[in-house]
Structure 1
C-alpha cells in the first residue's frame, strides 16, 4: 500500500519511488560546491534523482563551510528495488559508504539496523527530532537516523477562492466535508466538488491511506493488531470508513466527470484554476502544481482528512527519508559522520535544505521553521505538527504489512464497480499474501 506517484517522495516516493546503475559522484563532493580541502574525507551515498543531488550538494557545501576540516564526497545509487538491493548488498559485505540516505519505517527495519548501523542515541540532537520521525528510525530502544527533508501530508488540497466565494469553512468532520461538497455541487458553475484522477491509479488511495490518523484515534492499537493478523479493514469499523468514504463520494456524484481517465497533472490544473474544489492527495505534489500554475501558491490550501470526531481531527503524515551511519565507519570518519548528521538535524541544516528546494512540508526537527514564502498548502500543515496529538504516521511506517493491489481496489470502489465492504475484504486478502511472504507470526 505504498504510494508510487511520479513525484519525489517515500517510495512514493513513499513513499514515491517515488533506474540507472550506481555511479561515483565523488568529484561533486570535492568541488567548490562542497568546500573541498578538508583533512578528513567521508563519502555520502544518495539517490540519483535531481533533487536528491541538489540537496546533498547544498548540505555538503554548508556543512563544510562550518567544518572546513571535513570534505564530503557524494556517490549516487538508483532508486526503486535496484537501489534497495545495492544498499542491502553493501551493508552485508561491509562495503557501505561512511554515510548514506535511505528509507524510514518498514524498509528501514529490513536493513537490519541493529546489525548494520551505528546508533546515535548519545548524540545531543536526538531530543530535537520529531517524535513521529524518531519512531521510524528506531529499532528496539536505539535511534539510528536523522531526517533528510520535511514531512508529507496525506490530506485534502482545496481551492481557497471557491471556499471564499461560497462562504465555506474548513471541515473538521466527514459530515461537514460532505455538506461542503453538497453546497459546491448546488452552486453549479462547473466546479467539481471532489477531484479524482484514476488515470493514475496510485492517486485513488488517499481516502484510505490518508485516513489513518482517524483510524488510530479510534483504535490506537490497530497497527499492532493488524501486523499480528488480529485486525482487518473489513471488520474494523474505523478502518473500513476509508473505503466507505471512497464509495460515498462516487455515489453522491461529487467527482469530476472525467475521473476515470484524468491524471495527476489534470487534477492539479483543475484545482489551481478553481474547476475543482477538493483534491485528496499527498502534499508532495504541491510544488509540481505551482510550477505550472504559480497562483496556486496562494490559492490552494490544505486540511487533514476529516473523521467523525472534530476534537481528534489530525493529519496523517509520511516522514522524510533518513540519513544513517553504517557500523563500518570508525575513527575520525565516524566522528565526522556524526557531526554531519548533527548539522542535518539542526536549524542550519533545515535552512540548507530549504535553499535547495521548496519543502514538501514541515521539518522533522524542533527549532526548524518553514521559509516565509512557502506555498499556503505547506504552511497549513504546520499547526497539525505543532499540536499535541495533531498528527499520526501513515500505517506503512508502523506495520510491514502491505498489499500491492490497493490502488486497483480503490479505483473499483471509487468507480462504483465494487462496494466498500467488498473492496476492504479483497484488500485484506491481498495483504495476506504479502504477510505470509514476510513470514510474520499469525498469518
Structure 2
C-alpha cells in the first residue's frame, strides 16, 4: 500500500453512492447552456473523510454562484477498489464529467493521453509548482488541477530542544548525527523517535530520502521502472544504511518496537523526543491533541550525505481531471468547475475543510497567516526549489514488504544491504504483474 493511501484515509465505509445537490439561483456569469438553459454535469470523488465533505462544499458553492450549471456529486470508494472502478468507467465511456483521482504513477495507469482532456490552455495551468506539473502531465499533455495540499516525508523536530542546546538545523547526515549525540548527551533519551508498533512509520528513512537519491541520479526513477536501478546500490542504499546507523548509535526511544504513531506525535510535541522521521500530516494530530505545542514543532529535510544533495521529498495531492467523453457545453462547464476549485472560494474550502498538511501545489492558493511553523518551513523548501516528488509518484513499483524490512533494519535484525537486496526481489512480482518491460 502506498504512503498516500495510508494517509488520505479513503475509508471504504460507504458503497458507491450519489449525492445530488440542488441548484441555488444567484447570479449568472454567462456561458454554459445558452438561451436560459442549464447544463448538468457530474463530479466524481471518493467517499472517505474529509474529502467527501470538501467535495460537497465545493459543489454547493459552485452551484450557488452559477445559475446556468448544475453539478451533481457522486462518490465511490478509494483505494484499490476505486482504482478498478476508475479504469472500468473510462474504458466503458461512463466516467463522470469531472473526476478526482491520484496524481503520479497511478494517473499514468489510466492512459491520460488516450482518455483525458488536455488542460494546458487553462488560465490556472501556469500556477502549479513544478513538482505538481510533473505528476499530472505526460510528454504529450497536461491533465490535472490539484485539490488539497502537499505533505513532506521529513524530520519533524522539537524546536525548544534545539533552542535549549543551541543546535542548528542540519543539512548533511554527519551534522544530523552530531545533533543526535548532543541531544543524547543532554539526557534526552530519544534523539530519534521510532514507532514500529505502526509498521508503516518505519519506512521514512527510505521513502523520505528519495528526493536526495534523485538529486544525485535524476534518471533513477525511470531507470528503476525499467529494471536498471536497484536499492542494493548507491545512492538508493543510503536510506537503509542511515536507518541502520541511527539504530546502532542508540538514538531511538527505548520502546521503539511497540510505540505507536500517536505515541510518536506526543513525544515530538511535548519534547520527550527530539526528531521524528514522519509525514508532515502529523501536524494535524499535533494541532488536535497538543494545540499548546503547535509552535514547538518544526521540520527539515532528511539530510543527504552531502548537503548539496539534500532535498525535501514531497507527496503531491490528488487532482481533478476531465475525461475526453465530456464534450460541448458540458466540457466548458467542467472547465469552469475546475477553475472554481482554484478560485479564492475554492481555496478557502480546501483550507477550512481538508486542513493543510503542507503548502499548496499551486500559487492560486496560499497558506493561512496563522499556519504553524511546520508548514511555513516546508514552504521555504518549495520557494528555494529544493524539493522532489516521492518515488511512488514517478514509478508504479512499490513492493508490499518494505515496511517489514525497514522494521528489521531499524531493530538491528537485518543489515541494510541484505534488506535492500530483499526489497529488490520484493518488487519483481509486482512489476511483472504490471507488465512492465525489462522484468
Equivalent of residue 430 in structure 1, options 426, 430, 434: 426
CA RMSD of aligned residues (A): 2.1
Contact 2:204 2:278 in 1 (8 A): yes
Change (3 A) 1:159 1:132: same
Match of 1:12 in 2: 6
Change (3 A) 1:38 1:379: farther
Equivalent of residue 195 in structure 1, options 193, 196, 202: 193
Return the alpha-carbon distance in structure 1 between the equivalents of residues 128 and 196 of structure 2.
36
How many residues matched? 432
Match of 2:32 in 1: none
Give the secondary-structure state (helix, strand or coil) at the position aligned to 1:157. strand
- 1:185 aligned to 2:177? no
Q: C-alpha displacement at 1:295, in angstroms? A: 2.0
Return the alpha-carbon distance in structure 1 between the equivalents of residues 227 and 307 of structure 2.
30
Match of 2:58 in 1: 59
- 1:26 aligned to 2:19? yes
- 1:251 aligned to 2:244? no
Contact 1:358 1:374 in 2 (8 A): no
Give the secondary-structure state (helix, strand or coil) at the position aligned to 2:281. helix
What's the TM-score, normalizing by structure 2?
0.93
Return the alpha-carbon distance in structure 2 between the equivalents of residues 309 and 149 of structure 1.
32
Matches within 5 A, 1:235-246: 235=233, 237-246=234-243
What's the TM-score, normalizing by structure 1?
0.93
Give the secondary-structure state (helix, strand or coil) at the position aligned to 2:50. helix
Contact 1:34 1:58 in 2 (8 A): no
Return the alpha-carbon distance in structure 2 between the equivalents of residues 434 and 24 of structure 1.
31
Match of 2:393 in 1: 397
Q: C-alpha displacement at 1:260, in angstroms? A: 0.4
Q: C-alpha displacement at 1:191, in angstroms? A: 3.9
Q: C-alpha displacement at 1:348, in angstroms? A: 4.4
- 1:439 aligned to 2:435? yes
Q: Deviations over 1:194-235 (max 9, x none)?
A: 000001111000010000111011111111211111111112
Unaligned runs of 5+ in 2: 29-35
- 1:421 aligned to 2:413? no
Contact 1:34 1:61 in 2 (8 A): no
Match of 1:7 in 2: none
Contact 1:160 1:301 in 2 (8 A): yes
Return the alpha-carbon distance in structure 2 between the equivalents of residues 128 and 18 of structure 1.
31
Q: C-alpha displacement at 1:156, in angstroms? A: 0.7
Matches within 5 A, 1:355-366: 355-366=352-363
Match of 1:2 in 2: 2
Match of 1:143 in 2: 142
Q: C-alpha displacement at 1:263, in angstroms? A: 0.8
Change (3 A) 1:156 1:34: farther
